[in-house]
Amino acid sequence: MSELAEFVLDLDDLDDGQRAEVGRAVLRVVEASASRFQVDIPGGRDDVPEPAARAAEVLRQAAGKTSRDDRDYALSGWLDARDAHLWDALVTFMPWSYDGDVWDGEGRRIANLHDGEVSFVAVAIAQVPELTAIVGPGRLTPWAEVQLERRAAGRAWARSHSLSALGWLVVAAGLLLVPLPGPGAPIVLAGVVILVVGALVGRLNRQEQPDQPQPSVPDGSCPDCGHTWWEHAGSGNDRKGMCGECAYEFEHRQRDTDAPGCRRPVPGA
């Protein structure tokens, strides 16, 4: 089994068109290794161009999802990635999908689709330079590093909450023993003491952590979309650079225009 280099992609600094272009290029990189794929096929959107709509129909037909309900939303199930017609349909429709996976012939996931972009990719070591040239070195994070960060966060959470968990267990055990002859009340008291100590330790840990700088967001609203600046890029409440409120309206078809939304950043951000 050949070794794969696994990466998480961070494309937040790109616009929708650039993310689509990068995602399609990444899928072409893994095409030779792909054996099967699955993807969801949302419908009922007015912003899907004709080529993508035709690609969605190809996927629906291949999956046998042609009912009226399937026109609104369908899951393809596993399709043959070695079928060039189906693979081309996946690449074309990818920016309008929500979720999907691509697996190789050895049962390994080599690409993950999320919200219209490729969020994870695994390629042969020899393909890493090609992938880096497509995505950009600053937008690729090795999956091993992501796992280490998650484990570190999990250990930090366990350390900060272990005393509290132990305290509640001791309190529960003491309460069960209270009606019986024995040291039920002292055990409950010991559990309360552990809870207090755990709370104090947690407070000390939080005080030792540096405060995260808060974004400086002015009052008022964006002149382009009319939404508060707190929804725009630079506020922390945006949706991949798009005004969060515009994105919500777009997803729920509450906008008067087909344009997906405002991308003006917070002044000074």
Q: What pLDDT, in 10s, does the model give residues 134-165? A: 998 788 999 888 888 878 777 777 766 788 88
Residue 76 lies in a domain: yes
Among 36, 17, 80, CA closest to 241? 17
Instruction: Name the percent of the chain in helix, strand, coil, to the closest 5.
Output: 50, 15, 30
Q: Against a cut of 0.75, is the pTM above it?
A: no
Domain count along the chain: 2
Q: Is 126 found in the same domain as 18?
A: yes
Q: Report the relative pairing of strands 140-142 and 34-42 from DSSP bridges.
A: unpaired
Q: Is 55 found in the same domain as 180?
A: no
Answer yes or no: are the C-beta atoms of 147 and 53 closer than 8 Å.
no
Query: What pLDDT does residue 13 have?
Result: 86
Query: What pLDDT does residue 56 have?
Result: 94
Query: What pLDDT does residue 92 have?
Result: 96
Give CA separation, 168 vs 191, 194, 203, in Å: 6, 8, 18
Rounded to an integer, the average pLDDT of 22-41 is 96
pLDDT band at 254 (very low <50, low <70, confident <90, very high): low
Q: Is 123 found in the same domain as 13?
A: yes
Q: Is 178 found in the same domain as 101?
A: no
Q: Going along 115-207, which residue ranges are E strands?
A: 117-124, 140-142
Q: What pLDDT, in 10s, does the model give residues 71-120? A: 889 999 999 999 999 999 999 999 999 999 999 999 999 999 998 899 99
Domain boundary among 208, 232, 256: 208
Residue 242 lies in a domain: no
Q: Is 138 found in the same domain as 13?
A: yes
Q: Is 172 found in the same domain as 132?
A: no
Residue 173, helix vs strand vs coil: helix
Q: Is 169 found in the same domain as 87?
A: no
Domain region containing 163: 152-208
Q: What pLDDT, in 10s, does the model give residues 193-228? A: 988 887 887 777 666 555 555 567 777 888 888 888
Q: Is 162 found in the same domain as 49?
A: no
Burial 147-175 (b: 16+ CB within 10 A, else e): eeeeeeeeeeeeebeebbeebeebbeebe
Rounded to an integer, the average pLDDT of 258-263 is 68
Residue 23 lies in a domain: yes
Q: Is the pLDDT reported for residue 4 higher than 60?
A: yes
Q: Is 189 found in the same domain as 91?
A: no
Q: Is 164 found in the same domain as 98?
A: no
How many CA atoms within 13 Å lie on the side-chain side of 68?
Answer: 0
Residue 21 lies in a domain: yes
Q: Is 91 found in the same domain as 109?
A: yes
Q: Is 82 found in the same domain as 24?
A: yes
